[in-house]
Amino acid sequence: MTLEQQDKKYVLQTYARDYTNFVKGKGSTLFDENGRDYIDFASGIGVNSVGHGNEKLATAICEQAKKIIHISNLQVIEPQAKLAQRIVELSGYDMGIFFANSGAEANEGAIKIARKYGETQFEKKKFKVITLEHSFHGRTITTVKATGQESFHTENFSPYPDGFSYEKCIADVYTAIDDETVAVLIELVQGEGGVQPFEKEEIQNLATHLKKEGILLIVDEVQTGVYRTGEFLASNLYEIEPDIITLAKGLGGGVPIGAVMTRHKEVLSAGDHGSTFGGNYLSTAAGLAVLDVLAPMYDNGTMAETLLYFSEKLQEVSHKYENLFEKEVGLGLMRGLRAKSAEVQGSIIKNALQEGLIVLKAGRNTVRFLPSITISKDEIDEGFSRFEKAIASL
């Protein structure tokens, strides 16, 4: 039985898989079972923030696994407390943190905090959450409903929880707010929605308005967080202070972890929320190791150099192939090229893999780039060389 046959027989077919069998990785390069190398511009959809085979991360995981992998959250967990402190200090916000296992779980936690806040802080209950069209917030029933894409709201999974609405743009949020609105949930750069950043001024104006109205601002940083946009949080880049922030993806470097952080530390009480695996020894030890790699890169300017170099390469391609791409989009190492059609987008992604380069699809006909933050200049050069070959193969 081949690997493909095994997968199709025993694994639920919820993904349109490619069957390249990767067996090892080093930095931003993957190797398949035949020894062929691939430049990884996807990093597991923004998860492998420190690349593949990172020594510091691997050592931290191995050393922790030799001691304790997991105990329950009924006992204090030292690396969990240390990681919470580290995140809070790097963020610059006075917040408390709850650890989960994924971005969807982090967003579930954020919605629960908002709902309890709306129940306990006002005379009349507030429960409605406004999100934006083209947003993506997860795959659970609640976070699917929070996602502003009708294609996710199929009858197959209905009925969905009430209390969510979607606006076309930031300007529409103001008029959508009513007496039952408790929170606005946004991504500062819409990832699945096409790597689309919002303007800094309109976000700052929204944050100011929501604060004045006593409505919570929740920022989904599942993809933008942990230096993906060049700052520790995109919220830092936009110079706002949200009420609630969610993290996941790059925080564990590949080990599943999610986090919801909030300045409203008093809202949740013992028993209000929980997670068996959330914030265990293994995942939080991994998170600490990831930050030990990335924080010095930010401090010494290496990260800024990498971001600039990647951006320059992307701009070169965008200008060179104006017949194929409308524009370059994104921030930091969360980037995209908006193709002129879905056909061009799909063909380039397929051809890139054949040329030994992994890139991603995003909405609005976007070819998405999410390389590891530790990617080298040589890997960037080789990746774009292969990308141009993929374009030439159209």
Length of the chain: 394
Q: Model confidence at 47, in pLDDT bands (50, 70, 90)?
A: very high
Question: Any idea which residue has 């008093």 for tokens?
Answer: 266
The burial class, CB within 10 Å (0-12 / 13-18 / 19+), for 273 is middle
Flag whether pLDDT at 364 surpasses 90: no
Buried b (16+ CB within 10 A) or exposed e, 38-59: bbbbbbbebbbbbbbebeebbe
Distance CA 98, CA 342 (A): 39
pTM of this structure: 0.97
Q: One fold for both 3-53+301-392 and 68-299?
A: no
Mean pLDDT of the region 19-29: 98
Distances (CA, A) of 231 to 10, 89, 98, 227, 239: 42, 13, 22, 5, 11
Q: Which amino acid is at 332?
A: G
pLDDT in tens, 34-46: 999 999 999 999 9
Which fold is adopted by the domain 3-53+301-392? Answer: Aspartate Aminotransferase, domain 1 (3.90.1150)
Question: Which of the following CATH numbers is that of domain 68-299: 1.10.4160.10, 3.40.50.300, 3.50.50.60, 3.40.640.10?
Answer: 3.40.640.10
Gap between the terminal Cα atoms of the chain: 34
User: Residue ranges per domain, the chain?
Assistant: 3-53+301-392, 68-299
What tokens does 55 get? 């020594």
Q: What is the pLDDT of residues 132-177, one digit of tens each?
A: 999 999 999 999 999 999 999 999 999 999 999 999 999 999 999 9
pLDDT at 82: 98
- pLDDT digits over 238-250, tens only? 999 999 999 999 9
Q: State the average pLDDT for the chain.
A: 97
Residue 124 half-sphere exposure toward CB, CA atoms < 13 A: 5
